[in-house]
Structure 1
Amino acid sequence: MPDPVLSLKDVTLSLRGNAGMVGILHGITLDVNRGETLGLIGPSGSGKSSLLMIMGGLERATSGSVQALGQDLTAMNEDALARFRRDHMGVVFQSFHLIPTMTALENVATPLELAGVKDAFDRAQAELEAVGLGHRADHYPAQMSGGEQQRVALARASAPRPQILLADEPTGNLDGANGTAIMDLLFGLRDRHGATLVLVTHSNTLAARCDRIVRLTDGQVAKDAQAAE
């Protein structure tokens, strides 16, 4: 039986622009099942990143309902959403979003400390080891390459053992070799922790590694199909 961890029903999103309100998403209905890997693809401006942000409670739907792990995200205030993400979600962005004044180890340990994990630094070190950066634990973001910074961001997202991993173009700022390595790590972390993974990507090759591919066009689901074997 399907076991959705994310469930969106008739979701719309409109944002105010210079010329007034602009429709971004139009009536999105979509379930993502436990343990599934879902690739969100489509041309620039199709609403992929906006949809991912709504799944993570980082953007509020204009209308419709968004449920994650049986909880209604649309009914939560900002503090409740932040706690829910802390406890249940890991988010990886294209631009890393590391704290520049913190070492790699401190960046990974911070969400664990906020969650009250007693062995936060030990677990953070283990996650850095898992992405091949144990030897860079004391380095600051400015001392690391883009690929290394994204590995730290992956370690930070996976350290709390999230049930849902959301990744927005995680290889967008990296060259081919680094991008492939990051995707191998991302899928490896998914396998290791059993998380559900939703991945926004422009790469058909990366999307094909997912169990299922959803194509967006003009803020609507244009295609929803199992990835080819």
Structure 2
Amino acid sequence: MSHSPTPPTIRLRGLDLTLTGPAGAVNILRGVDLTVDQGAAVGVVGPSGAGKSSLLMVIAGLQRPTAGAVTVAGHDLGAMDEDALARWRRAHVGVVFQGFHLIPTMTAEENVAVPLEFAGRRDAFDVARGQLEAVGLGHRLGHYPGQLSGGEQQRVALARAFAPGPRLLLADEPTGNLDGETGALVMDLLFRLHAEQNTTLMLITHDLALARRCDRTIRIEDGRLTDSGASRAAAE
């Protein structure tokens, strides 16, 4: 018996984003088309201000596009209101930022358990402990962010993002606040979790070597997207 192919995690068609500022309308994204298969890793590169983070925000349902269709994890984001988008994000999307965005008054274990508790998971703390052990922080469960190094805080953020088992992981310059050695360890961990959980990964980075570790590299410049195909064909 044949099985239907798994639908792509991300499908963007004719995506435009125009924002109005003091100087008038600014075209952030222009006619972006993109399809990303389930389980793939895509590196997104380009100069500052090119629209990389805006693209991530649209895919996460945190920014409404001006025009175009956005389908992520089988859902048409344009058809959902803000409450529905919040529920969808909680179930399907993990996000890791350059800043760790941990809650300072909560322990590492509590930080990881938060999204699971919001989702009504009774096993939230069991899952949180297991995920922290998976990132090598089983001995830091009761520590607060202020008691952790930058690398440890980003590992907690990774554990929090992966704990709900998202279909899509969005990472925006996740090593930007880390030194080179620590950043390399965090990225090794991110790629390992991505592979183990078959999570689709979109990684925004200024580091071309890091982007080349992905299956594909896409470049954004002046709001337009070019696909460099296999990551080995570097996006120079």
Measured against the shorter chain, the TM-score band is over 0.9
Q: Does 1:64 align with 2:68?
A: yes
* DSSP 3-state at the match of 1:90: strand
* DSSP 3-state at the match of 1:74: helix
Q: Does 1:29 align with 2:33?
A: yes
* DSSP 3-state at the match of 2:61: coil
* DSSP 3-state at the match of 2:229: strand
For 1:176-222, what per-residue CA distance to the aligned partner results, in whole angstroms no more than 9, with x for missing partners?
01110111111111111111111000001110100000011111013
1:40-189 pair list within 5 angstroms:
40-189=44-193
TM-score (norm 1): 0.97
How many corresponding residue pairs?
229
Measure how far apart 1:16 and its partner are. 2.0
Coordinate RMSD, CA, aligned = 1.2
Measure how far apart 1:115 and its partner are. 0.9
Q: Any gaps of 5 or more consecutive residues in structure 1?
A: none
Percent of matched pairs sharing the same residue? 59
* DSSP 3-state at the match of 2:9: strand
Alpha-carbon distance between aligned partners in 2 of 1:84 and 1:3, rounded to the nearest angstrom = 17
What one-letter code is carried by the residue in structure 2 that aligns with 1:147? G
Which range moved further: 28-37 or 15-24? 15-24
TM-score (norm 2): 0.94
Q: Residue in 2 aligned with 1:193?
A: 197
* DSSP 3-state at the match of 1:181: helix
Measure how far apart 1:3 and its partner are. 3.6
Alpha-carbon distance between aligned partners in 2 of 1:143 and 1:50, rounded to the nearest angstrom = 32
Measure how far apart 1:2 and its partner are. 7.5
Aligned partner (choices 218, 221, 226) of residue 217 of structure 1: 221
Q: Any gaps of 5 or more consecutive residues in structure 2?
A: none
For 1:51-92, what per-residue CA distance to the aligned partner results, in whole angstroms no more than 9, with x for missing partners?
011111111111101001221101211111110010011111
Alpha-carbon distance between aligned partners in 1 of 2:62 and 2:94, rounded to the nearest angstrom = 12
